[in-house]
Structure 1
Amino acid sequence: MNQVSMVGRIVREIELRDIGEGKIVLNNVLAVQKNYRTDHGVEADFIPFVVWEKRAELIEEYCNKGDLVGLMGKMQSRTYKNNESETVYVVELLVNEVQFLQPKK
């Protein structure tokens, strides 16, 4: 079973990309606060996430960098070759549901 739910803050400015044929994608990072404090304060894990089509457009409309959201979906892994022909491994959250946890500004 591959089901994940996370609550955190959007790390980067929202930027949609049109990848052709009318397909829209949003790539960003979710900062998920850890349950403990260190000498440096509260720490977080940074989880890359991907949102497609209408959900991506809704996030662009209702969210900004730093907003608190709940994301549900599944973890996926993929690889690609970078400019130096090295294989890069990526693990990310593929979002299929979004919960807006603060009012629209």
Structure 2
Amino acid sequence: MNQVALVGRIVREIELRDVGDGKIVLNNVLAVQRNYRTDHGTEADFIPFVVWGKRAELIEEYCNKGDLIGLTGKIQSRTYQSNESETVYVVEVFVNEVRFLQPKK
């Protein structure tokens, strides 16, 4: 079983990319607060996520950097070659469902 549900804040400005053949993708990061405090205050984990198609367009329409959202999906990994010809490993959430947790501004 590969399922994940996260609630957090969008870290970067929303930016859609057209990858050809009418396919739209959104790559961003979700800051998920940890359930405990340290001497430095509350900490967070920063989880990369990817959203395709209509869901990505809805996030662009209704969300901004810093907004609270809920995501469900699955964890997936991929690799690519950097400009320095090194293999880069990426683990991210492939989003299946989005919940808007605050009103549109």
TM-score tier by shorter-chain length is over 0.9
Deviations 1:17-54 (A, max 9, x none): 00011000000000000010011110000000000000
Within-5 A mapping of 1:1-105: 1-105=1-105
TM, length-normalised to structure 2: 0.99
Which residue type is aligned with residue 33 of structure 1? Q
Give the deviation of 1:96 after TM superposition. Answer: 0.6
Which sections of structure 2, spanning at least 5 residues, go unmatched?
Answer: none
Which sections of structure 1, spanning at least 5 residues, go unmatched?
Answer: none
Deviations 1:61-91 (A, max 9, x none): 0000000000000000000000000000000
Distance 1:64 1:41 in 2: 25
Distance 2:41 2:17 in 1: 35
Alignment length, in residue pairs?
105
Give the deviation of 1:2 after TM superposition. Answer: 0.3
Distance 2:101 2:51 in 1: 17
Indicate the RMSD between aligned Cα atoms, in angstroms: 0.3
Which residue type is aligned with residue 87 of structure 2? T
Give the deviation of 1:6 after TM superposition. Answer: 0.3
Distance 2:18 2:69 in 1: 23
